[in-house]
């Protein structure tokens, strides 16, 4: 287990990492992810098109991309001296991504080209789904719309005026799952410019019950999408942003986002647990339970 977007164990977002997953079946990987119980587990495998291949599983399903598990995986390989500082390539379900590991251990993940589009949804409905006063969204929505945003994995990005409303959100998880299905997104990313740390660009929470993650502590892929969103609508005057997340789960962390020719998401990570997991032989007839 590797805690990403933090330099302290038991903070940030925990990712399972299986550094040598060659030969594991889909059923075995799904069972391992369920057993570890992290929001996502990364399974690293050999690749002919990149330095390595990765697949990501939540406790319930496979997802195409995961920022914090990517950051955690490469931080682990760097800490184990399996790879050196520099640029590496990673084959994912959404294509080959470029990963940079700094000499201090910080990992940067290059995102896909941004896809941003405004969506039509009433603030009264959003308020009911998220448990947030609709006026708190309608206020900031005069300048920043609700949007479908993706840099590899899509999210519904929802701006809110003050941290109080973000922190007091009482989301209806079933309604969020239905909303996510309706708009074809992995989850709903709620943010405010009203931050706890003066150096932060925004404070966020992300809900993805459809992927088996009611609330994700710190979300790399959503941060990349949100950074592209802010750039698209001219909401910030800098190419280097700092996002804070996870405080309302006591798993606070920091995501760094850079906007240039491509969007990059970066962060630190620390190994919090190492061990061995015994996996039953693959069965052609039934899903493994471990």
pLDDT tens for 114-152 read 999 999 999 999 999 999 999 999 999 989 999 999 999
> Residue 257 and residue 12: Cα distance in Å, rounded?
16
Residue 228 has φ and ψ, to the nearest 5°, of -65, -35
CA 241 to chain centre: 16
CA end-to-end span of the chain? 17
pLDDT digits (tens, 9 = 90+) for 229-244: 999 999 999 999 999 9
**Is pLDDT above 50 for 277?**
yes
- Residue 285: its pLDDT value, please? 54
**Closest to 215 (Cα-Cα) out of 58, 39, 8, 64:** 39
pLDDT-derived band at 290, boundaries 50, 70, 90: very low
Q: What is the pLDDT of residue 286?
A: 53
Beta strands in 28-186 (DSSP E): 40-45, 52-57, 62-63, 86-92, 95-101, 107-110, 115-118, 147-150, 154-159
Q: What is the mean pLDDT of the chain?
A: 95
What pLDDT score was predicted for residue 284? 63
Which residues are identified as catalytic?
40
Local confidence band at 257 (pLDDT 50, 70, 90 cut-offs): very high
pLDDT at 142 (0 to 100): 87
Cβ neighbours of residue 97 under 8 Å, at least 6 residues apart? 70, 89, 90, 109, 110, 111, 112, 152
């Amino acid at each position: 287990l590797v805690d990403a977007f933090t330099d302290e164990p038991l903070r940030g977002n925990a990712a399972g990492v299986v550094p040598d997953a060659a030969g594991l079946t889909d059923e075995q990987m799904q069972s391992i992810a369920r057993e570890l119980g992290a929001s996502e587990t990364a399974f690293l495998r050999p690749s002919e098109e990149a330095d390595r291949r990765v697949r990501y599983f939540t406790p319930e399903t496979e997802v195409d991309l995961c920022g914090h598990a990517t950051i955690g995986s490469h931080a682990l390989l760097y800490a184990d001296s399996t790879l050196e500082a520099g640029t590496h390539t990673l084959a994912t379900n959404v294509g080959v991504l470029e990963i940079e590991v700094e000499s201090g251990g910080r990992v940067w993940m290059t995102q896909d080209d941004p896809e941003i589009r405004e969506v039509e949804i009433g603030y009264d409905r959003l308020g009911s789904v998220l448990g947030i006063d609709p006026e708190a969204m309608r206020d900031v929505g005069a300048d920043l719309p609700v949007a479908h945003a993706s840099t590899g994995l899509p999210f519904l990005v929802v701006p809110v005026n003050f941290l109080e409303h973000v922190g007091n959100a009482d989301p209806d998880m079933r309604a969020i799952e239905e909303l996510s299905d309706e708009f074809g997104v992995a989850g709903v990313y709620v943010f405010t410019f009203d931050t706890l740390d003066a150096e932060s660009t925004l404070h966020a929470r992300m809900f993805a019950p459809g992927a088996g993650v009611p609330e994700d502590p710190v979300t790399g892929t959503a941060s990349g999408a949100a950074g592209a969103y802010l750039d698209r609508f001219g909401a910030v005057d800098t190419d280097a942003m700092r996002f804070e997340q996870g405080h309302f789960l006591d798993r606070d962390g920091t995501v760094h986002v850079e906007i240039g020719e491509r969007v990059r998401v970066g962060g630190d990570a620390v190994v919090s647990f190492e061990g061995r997991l015994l996996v039953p032989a693959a069965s052609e007839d039934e899903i493994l339970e471990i």
